[in-house]
A and B are shown apart, each in its own frame.
Chain A
Amino acid sequence: MFKKVLIANRGEIAVRIARTLQEMRITAVGVYSEADRTACHVSACDEAYPLSGVTAQETYLRSDRLIEIARSHGVEAIHPGYGFLSERADFAEACQNAGLTFIGPSPEVIRAMGDKIIAKETVAAAGVPVVPGWSSTDYCFSEIQYQADKLGYPVLIKAAAGGGGKGMRVVQDANHLAEALESAQREAGAAFGDGRVFLEKYLQRPRHVEVQIFGDHHGQVIHLFERECSIQRRHQKIIEESPSPALTPELRRRLCAAAVTAAQAIQYASAGTVEFILDEAGQFYFLEVNTRLQVEHPVTEMITGLDLVYAQMKVAAGEPFPLKQEELLQRGHALECRICSEDANDNFRPQTGQIEVYVSPQGGGVRVDSGVNIGSEVSVHYDPMLAKLIVHAPTRLAAIDKAIQALRQFVILGVRTNIPFLAQVLDHPEFRAGQVHTHFLQEQHWPVDDPENIPDAALLAAALAVKPVSRFSSSTAWSEQHDTGPWAAAGPWRGL
């Protein structure tokens, strides 16, 4: 096993990886930008080294600096976490060339799966159903127009190098095709340096269901069941759960088998996720493979009882995956909520500032993976996700109630967060009934709290924040009260 591993990331995922490394008696090496000097992930690591600069571009994306730090401090492997360099084939390759183990699949697999057109062709060839669509290297407009007509509107334009919804356009009818195509190509070109796009049939109310897969270097590929991630805003997942309420045992078996087939087709060796969309008729289609540890991986950890980072380390060190497929069980129900610094009452505008009060929930079956604490600075430079709340309970409804209760105990003041909004979504009758799809959040009306409905205790708490009771003028209060009634002697307003 490795003795020393560098975590090329920040925030909650860096803290979470460091925790497992330390359990394994592996020295965790952190890196940090100037803005993150006092961040949680820095003190969570055994050693930490600065990356000069502030922006992601200057710091966590500097593969040359990361490799240099790793080499000069005796590091043997690099865990990229998610985001940043986690799906950069050139970084995985650079690690290899520097004699470092990249904790993830091979550069070839990352590269192939990073190209959505190649990924789709590869898994389709292995017999996995893919979303009906069309791609070509030839961008003759009349051909694209013909193919779009054949698929039937609405159609979806997606970027070959895509991700995060960039270069993606829904086209409702033929009149808008040319315009959408042009802007998608332009956006993809700017975001990825690759303007290639392809067409897909647009599914009206699909669910997003993905399968956690794991491959090792001994030819074993297993799945760790599904996660449903249909609760999304602008293509960003915010609530994930397992099991999916949409799957029958039979459908689950077929879906997980398809994911394993896809993983075997690319000789996958590490943790990965095969994403599918599921239509209202129960038909599933391959979407893409994520060649990294996902944000929502704790959902799988809760229902299987496994530590995926532990398994990643074992597999990267050449050991077999610790369990056989038949030893894996999906126990109970797990649910994750992403806590983000954004104002749900103001169109989810990201909030920056300092976290002044931070109290995380407690209790059986409650897990918080957090990258922040009291005093943490939430800056404009990085992701607004602060923490993840993950709960585990025997049934789906019990998990929902546990999550709502935990959200009600979660205190973050100083920056606004989506905590109240998450509780509102979980308590929605259709969510409780499991009737969700990827457009659920945008289709539903989410009432804003009535700002005038304020309990007495909140008003008293606010008044006490203006002036603490210990500083009330006291000695004169008693006699004045009798002279003139209780409110006559309001103290000097200077303290207001």
Chain B
Amino acid sequence: MIRVQLQPAKTSSLWTVALERTRLDAADDLQAQINQRTFDFELLKTEPAGGVMRLHGQVQRYYVWRDGSRIQVWLAGRIYELDIVESRAQRAGAAEQAGGPRDRLTAPMPGTIRQIKIQVGDSVEPHQTLLMMESMKMESALAVGHAARVIEICCQVGQLVQMNETLIKLEPLAS
């Protein structure tokens, strides 16, 4: 399950690409959503620098190279350069996950709480989705990078929260 915002180099347009497995037992059957369009595709093969996919009835080989936030894609003789757009909020969140406080989940960006997926007392796994938040029309799943028990939920669905506001209080657990 991933959601990525991509921006072609030297443009201001934005593509939101979300990918998801459609079947639990088949790793290569995927569903994609690009901006508002949804369609299925098959990932037939993956390699460190590329792969083969079947899309819209066509089997296509591709190559990719990622250098930081810049991605070069080779497809059918053409090269596309795309930047991964990480919002300021996402960067803040990543920084927090890297070394932020372990006793709470804070809002990585200003936005609206869309869904709360846990209850007080739950034990959560590292990277388990705790809540969904919407910001600038983009939905993000929030999680922490370690196992924890939920002590208190400090927000409600529909609530507008500020950046760095505490959303959930946690008790870190040894995983």
Contacts and interface: CB of A to CB of B under 8 A. Distances in A.
B65 A414 contact: yes
A480 to B, nearest CB: 8
Contacts of A407: 77
Given A463-B6, A489-B141, A492-B143, A477 B20 contact: yes
Given A451-B11, A494-B127, A487 B139 contact: yes
Nearest to B39: A456
Contacts of A493: 3, 90, 93-94, 140-141
A347 interface: no
Q: What's the interface size class on B, roughly?
A: 35 or more
B141 A491 contact: yes
Given A357-B63, A414-B65, A452-B11, A490 B139 contact: yes
B174 interface: no
Q: Which of A470, A473, A490 has the most CB of B within 10 A?
A: A490
B62 A413 contact: no
B136 interface: no
A423 B77 contact: yes
Contacts, number: 203
Dominant SS at the B interface?
A: strand
B46 to A, nearest CB: 6
Given A464-B46, A477-B24, A456 B56 contact: yes
28 contacts: A356-B49, A357-B50, A413-B63, A413-B65, A452-B8, A456-B32, A456-B55, A457-B60, A458-B73, A460-B19, A462-B6, A462-B17, A462-B84, A463-B2, A465-B65, A466-B4, A469-B19, A470-B46, A472-B1, A474-B27, A477-B20, A486-B20, A486-B33, A488-B115, A491-B1, A493-B140, A494-B127, A494-B145
Interface of A: 356-357, 359, 407-409, 411, 413-414, 416, 419-420, 423, 449, 451-452, 454-470, 472-478, 481, 484, 486-496
Interface of B: 1-4, 6, 8-11, 13, 15, 17-21, 24, 27-28, 30-34, 38-39, 41, 43, 46, 49-51, 53, 55-56, 60, 62-67, 71-82, 84, 86, 90, 93-94, 97, 114-115, 127-129, 132, 139-143, 145
